[in-house]
Amino acid sequence: MANWQRGVLRAMGAHAYPAAVVGTEDLEPWYRRIRFEGPELLAAASIRPTTWMRLWVPNEQRQDVSQRGYTFIGADAAAGTFDIDFVLHEAPGPAGDFAKRARPGDRVEAMPSKSGLAAPEDVKRFILVGDSTALPAILTVIAHAAEHRPEAAVSVIVEDEHPAPSGIPVPAHPNLAWQWLTLGGAERGTLAAPALRELTVGRERAYAWMAGERRLVRAAKAIVKDVLRLDRAHQHAQNYWIEGVAGR
């Protein structure tokens, strides 16, 4: 399997590693967790909260492969395994199609990124905003805070078309406040922005992490900048996808 994206990355010195499906688990009808075995990939990766990989999956329409970005979940270096959470959209797409059909033994290639949570050490409050596509990364931040920053407050705002899930395990944190806002036909960003505006960010050092659909991220960024008044060192925003634009 090869395509121009991998060729460019390899020319820059990056390397893709094999991984194989070990098992699948449907945490919600629309949310599937797939466990992979990939010891070489894990050995090459430096995994922090929100660290993602470039994943190449078969693209049957093009008879090639397509690349998508996914967050490392539950990496176990000793066992050589890691999980990826897939949101199963109704619309066809190479990654979703792969996830729906995945069986033990199916093989893919992945390349670890050098990304990861870059919150300052003095943060006393994490503000995490996203949709279901950002949920895997949000879960890694909660887990990190539970282990290393139990005294910090963690405020989560998820805005999504799906109803609040009951089967997705959320790491326990003593100061976690969780809001799941179901769109119900509303425009993206129109529910998350007011909820974010209502947060009381006092003199404590806060860090905002925002990701997901572009309009949601734009709305959240505006509140973080103009209302919460966090500087660039205390925020991160990333557009994961654009509604209505599906790449093949």
Q: Of 59, 44, 32, nearest to 110 (Cα)?
A: 44
Mean per-residue pLDDT, 218-240: 95
pLDDT digits (tens, 9 = 90+) for 57-66: 999 888 899 9
Q: Alpha helix (H) ranges present in 70-169? A: 94-101, 135-148
Under the banding of pLDDT at 50, 70 and 90, the label for residue 11 is: very low
**CA distances, 37 to each of 112, 209, 234 (Å):** 14, 29, 35
pLDDT digits (tens, 9 = 90+) for 36-46: 999 999 999 99
The dihedral region occupied by 191, where left means phi > 0, alpha psi between -120 and 50, and beta the remainder, is alpha
Q: Are 131 and 191 in contact (CB under 8 A)?
A: no
Under the banding of pLDDT at 50, 70 and 90, the label for residue 227 is: very high
Specify the pTM: 0.93
Tell me what pLDDT residue 37 has. Answer: 98
Q: Bigger pLDDT: 12 or 167?
A: 167
